[in-house]
Amino acid sequence: MKQIIGIILLLFNNLLAQTIEPTEQNALINIEVTDFKQNAHPNEQIWLISKKTSKKYFVKTDQKGKGKILLPEGDTYDIEYRDFMEQQNYSTITIPDQPGAYTYELKIKFEPAKTYVLKNVHFETGKASLTASSYTALNQLVEAMKAKPTLVIEIAGHTDNVGTYETNLQLSQARAETVRNYLISKGIAAERIIAKGYADTQPIATNETEQGRAKNRRTEVRIIKE
């Protein structure tokens, strides 16, 4: 039975591969995503957005960092990629409208960031309880983790310098563990997430103003293993 299923899948995959061919109206775009050392980026999400119609075309790279897509000719496309959780503009590509079937090579190079501040993830004052507005960003993190199944991260909790170091350390650790537990509850394997509190030892702004203290009260995602 397994052999029959394997043959069916092979035939299905071959059929799909045969359909990705350039035509008079649609050019074939071969996409390759690497870092600046030519290391492949698997499971990267790439969007090509039509300047004419605003239609979005999506590609996800395979384990070799490659993907392919058909794009209508006679248009210019904005290229965007998802740098873990954040959408980034890359460049544009113009596909001329000319007779014949054409294939183009698109090479995208970028170095993913290793640390991300979780925007709009907040806690009740002095507590490790998430506010209701935090779940949108956390759910995006869940989806990002599912898109990159080999990723291992650290959830780093940070506070301002109000209060004692011991209290802030306990609070930052508890908040990091709250985020970790939420991710686990959504199906992310526990061994892929480390929770660590840093209290006020790693400020990114002054603690002399409320604006600075607000920036220091943050939750970060740090990439441990890709």
pLDDT tens digits, one per residue of 158-194: 999 999 999 999 999 999 999 999 999 999 999 999 9
Token duo for residue 194: 């480390």
13 pLDDT more than 80? no
Identical fold between 2-109 and 115-225: no
Q: What pLDDT is recorded for position 84?
A: 76
Token duo for residue 169: 């350390």
Per-domain residue ranges of the chain: 2-109, 115-225
We find that the CATH architecture of domain 2-109 is Sandwich (2.60)
CA distances from 56 to 34, 43, 46, 52, 139 (A): 22, 18, 10, 11, 22
Sheet holding 219-225, edge to edge: 115-117, 219-225, 152-157, 193-197
Question: What mean pLDDT value characterizes the chain?
Answer: 90
pLDDT tens digits, one per residue of 20-55: 899 999 999 999 999 999 999 998 999 999 999 999
12: which residues sit within 8 A by CB, 6+ positions away?
A: none
CATH match for 115-225 among 3.30.1330.60, 3.40.50.1700, 3.40.50.620, 3.20.20.70: 3.30.1330.60
pLDDT tens digits, one per residue of 123-136: 999 999 999 999 99
189: which residues sit within 8 A by CB, 6+ positions away?
A: none
